[in-house]
Amino acid sequence: MNKQRRQILIRCGAAAAATLGVPALRADERSSGRTASGVDVHIELHAITDRVAIRPGASTRVWRYQSRLLRGAAGALEASAGSYLGPIIRVRRGQRVRIDLINGLPESTIIHWHGLHVPDDMDGHPRHAIGPGERYVYEFTVVNRAGSYWFHPHPHGRTGKQVYFGLAGLFLVSDDEEDALGLPTGAQDLPLVIQDRSFDHDNQLIYLSDSLAAAPTEGSDRRGMMGGGMMDRGMAGMGGMGRMMAAMMGMFGDQILVNGRPDASLELAPRPYRLRLLNGSNSRIYKLAWADRSPLTVIGTDGGLLAAPLQRDHVMLAPAERLDLWVDFARWPAGTELTLQSLAFDNGTGGMMGGMMGGAALPDGAPFPVLTARVQGGAKGQSAPLPQRLSALPRPDPRAAVNADRPKVFNLTMGMMTWGINGQGFDMLGASALETVKLGTQEIWEFRNDASAGMMGMSMPHSMHVHGLQFRVIGRFAAGNVGRSADSTGIIDEGWKDTVLVMPQERVRILLRFEDYPGLFLYHCHMLEHEDSGLMRNYRVVA
């Protein structure tokens, strides 16, 4: 039993311990007594420490998932050769999946299946984190529709660090509805995971001014980023203070990596492609556009295909959001070099915050190239046109919510150097009355980023994620109080979503349906440093 869990058990007593779900030791016992014969896909994921070559010169120390396919079609698992990212898991809707997480890290971890609708003990809540050497057995049926889901660690207070040092992969679901459209497949179905990182002179990753070797581990700072260890360093000098501020605002690296590679350049056939974009960054938002301002065709968001394609001249992509783009590279002459850029934008952080942010080598909202695409020569071939109807997407019906007239309000707040929701930080096993919902009902929630409760005029964009379900965005409003209006053009609110960007001075309303699974699930900001420092809470689904 790891320290964190022992602490929880001590704090909550034996009665609460019984509600913890499936602790590591029980999962171990379960795994030894169960055969995987009833599952379609069985994968082992070992979270390990490793070195990979990212930049010329010295290799980089990373943490990553090493994977093994124990059962299922060969296409179910694609390890990313030579990268810290991955693997890519590919399954069909309806398949039964078993995944064994084996923790080879020097600290506790757990995996969250971002966007999947699974029972609470399969969701990767931090209360299920396992210690070094332990195993957690996941088994669930994939009920989500076709879409680009993903997975990453979720231990309490150290999600940002573990994702940053490399742990993340894609979980791509296909289904019959998607198959019938004839969308690009194979090499033309291209996942693009966009991340920012900082390296030192020896090619080592720097997280909030620490290298992997120096970054606080569970033992040294088990209360997380904002815990005592960091405060001590903060007292010791300005370096610590800078680190503390960075931990509040978020990690912003000055190197943009695509699929784990710097200076990404792609050789693309003159054919239609499906580009599956994932913002896998800790805190950075991207405002994506082609340098020649060719329109972008959006066909999907977090929870899969839209009803119909959308045209945009640029799109915003907040941490953890996904966007599927359809691009026919036959429209450009062979040899054309296209640059996908992140355009300059106003992230709405004024005052002291803006000043501090300006200190980053590549501040949030600064412009930079993301990747270059070179269109190859050769036969253009027959391009299947993009269907103008993609999916039977139901229209959201806010009147079906049990609180249709009084949306629940969740203020995104900042206290004394700590984020919160309605002024409260994370509570491992707690959920308030407001955060308690009834199984089988729908509710309207409103995330408010009014910043009026902020400190020293601080306000930042937040990327709000709800575990265990897909929701619909039903409204986006200005908060109505004075302040700078941030740039929120290009935000795609259409389709099924599990993560939504809330810019400063904005309020966003979402419609959620709680079905199938009672239990304790998270909702939080996916700017991982915000999450790790308190912008995360539970909601409880009661039968």
525 binds, among ligand C2O, Cu ion, none (CB under 5 to 8 A by kind): Cu ion
527 binds, among Cu ion, ligand C2O, none (CB under 5 to 8 A by kind): Cu ion
List of residues 6+ apart from 491 with CB closer than 8 A: 316, 476, 501, 503
Q: Which of residues 407-466 bind ligand C2O (CB under 6 A)?
A: 465
Window of 51-59, 136-144, 194-202, 518-526 that interacts with ligand C2O by CB under 6 A: 518-526
Write down the least CB distance from residue 270 to Cu ion, Å. 41
130 binds, among Cu ion, ligand C2O, none (CB under 5 to 8 A by kind): none
Name the nearest CA neighbour of 500 among 449, 434, 430, 438.
449
CB closer to ligand C2O, 279 vs 349: 279
Window of 134-142, 337-345, 452-460, 520-528 that interacts with ligand C2O by CB under 6 A: 520-528
Write down the least CB distance from residue 102 to ligand C2O, Å. 21
Q: Which of residues 87-116 bind ligand C2O (CB under 6 A)?
A: 112, 114
530 binds, among Cu ion, ligand C2O, none (CB under 5 to 8 A by kind): Cu ion
Write down the least CB distance from residue 414 to Cu ion, Å. 10
5 binds, among Cu ion, ligand C2O, none (CB under 5 to 8 A by kind): none
Write down the least CB distance from residue 451 to Cu ion, Å. 12
Two structure tokens written together for 131: 């210690």
Window of 17-25, 140-148, 255-263, 522-530 that interacts with ligand C2O by CB under 6 A: 522-530
**CB-count exposure of residue 290 (10 Å: 0-12, 13-18, 19+):** middle
CB closer to ligand C2O, 112 vs 284: 112
CB closer to ligand C2O, 121 vs 450: 121
CB closer to ligand C2O, 110 vs 401: 110
Name the nearest CA neighbour of 303 among 393, 385, 398, 386.
393
Q: According to CB under 6 A, which one of 467, 497, 537, 540 is a site residue for ligand C2O?
A: 467
Two structure tokens written together for 136: 């957690």
Say how many C-beta atoms besides its own lie within 10 A of residue 125's C-beta: 24
49/63 Cα distance (integer angstroms): 5
524 binds, among Cu ion, ligand C2O, none (CB under 5 to 8 A by kind): ligand C2O
CB closer to ligand C2O, 465 vs 472: 465
Q: Nearest residue to ligand C2O, using CB?
A: 114
Q: According to CB under 6 A, which one of 257, 510, 522, 535 is a site residue for ligand C2O?
A: 522
Name beta bridge partners: 42.
71, 98
Say how many C-beta atoms besides its own lie within 10 A of residue 288's C-beta: 22
CB closer to Cu ion, 160 vs 304: 160
541 binds, among ligand C2O, Cu ion, none (CB under 5 to 8 A by kind): none
Q: What is the 3-state secondary structure (H, E, C) of 238-264?
A: HHHHHHHHHHHHCCCCCEEEECCEECC
448/476 Cα distance (integer angstroms): 10
CB closer to ligand C2O, 320 vs 412: 320
Q: Is 526 in the site for ligand C2O (CB under 6 A)?
A: yes
Q: State the number of binding residues for ligand C2O (CB under 6 A).
A: 10
CB closer to Cu ion, 23 vs 534: 534
Q: Which long-range contacts (CB under 8 A, 24 or more apart) does 73-76 make?
A: 73/41, 76/41, 76/43
CB closer to ligand C2O, 24 vs 320: 320
CB closer to Cu ion, 77 vs 248: 248
Buried/exposed 331-359: b ≥16 CB within 10 Å, e otherwise = ebeeeeebebbbbebbbbbbeebbebbee
Provide the CA 497 distance to its chain's centre, in angstroms: 12
Say how many C-beta atoms besides its own lie within 10 A of residue 103's C-beta: 26
Q: Is 528 in the site for ligand C2O (CB under 6 A)?
A: no
- CA of 300: how far to CAs of 75, 90, 97, 149, 307, in Å? 22, 17, 24, 12, 9
CB closer to Cu ion, 62 vs 502: 502
462 binds, among Cu ion, ligand C2O, none (CB under 5 to 8 A by kind): Cu ion
Q: Which of residues 40-79 bind ligand C2O (CB under 6 A)?
A: none
List of residues 6+ apart from 537 with CB closer than 8 A: 421, 424, 426, 427, 431, 432, 435, 522, 523, 524
Q: Which of residues 118-177 bind ligand C2O (CB under 6 A)?
A: 152, 154
98 binds, among Cu ion, ligand C2O, none (CB under 5 to 8 A by kind): none
CB closer to Cu ion, 218 vs 532: 532
152 binds, among Cu ion, ligand C2O, none (CB under 5 to 8 A by kind): ligand C2O
444 binds, among Cu ion, ligand C2O, none (CB under 5 to 8 A by kind): none
Provide the CA 278 distance to its chain's centre, in angstroms: 8
List of residues 6+ apart from 152 with CB closer than 8 A: 111, 112, 114, 159, 162, 163, 167, 168, 169, 280
Write down the least CB distance from residue 68 to ligand C2O, Å. 24
Where does this chain bind Cu ion (CB under 5 A)?
A: 462, 525, 527, 530
Say how many C-beta atoms besides its own lie within 10 A of residue 132's C-beta: 14
Provide the CA 471 distance to its chain's centre, in angstroms: 15
Name the nearest CA neighbour of 283 among 528, 465, 492, 464.
528
Q: Which residue has the tokens 């590279």?
A: 329
Name the nearest CA neighbour of 199 among 176, 165, 171, 231.
165
Binding-residue pattern over the window 305 to 324 for ligand C2O, x denoting contact by CB under 6 A: ---------------x----
List of residues 6+ apart from 5 with CB closer than 8 A: 20, 23, 24, 127, 129, 131
**Quick check: bond before 23 cis, omega within 30?**
no
CB closer to Cu ion, 21 vs 363: 363
Two structure tokens written together for 392: 């039977």
Residues making contact with ligand C2O (CB under 6 A): 112, 114, 152, 154, 320, 465, 467, 522, 524, 526
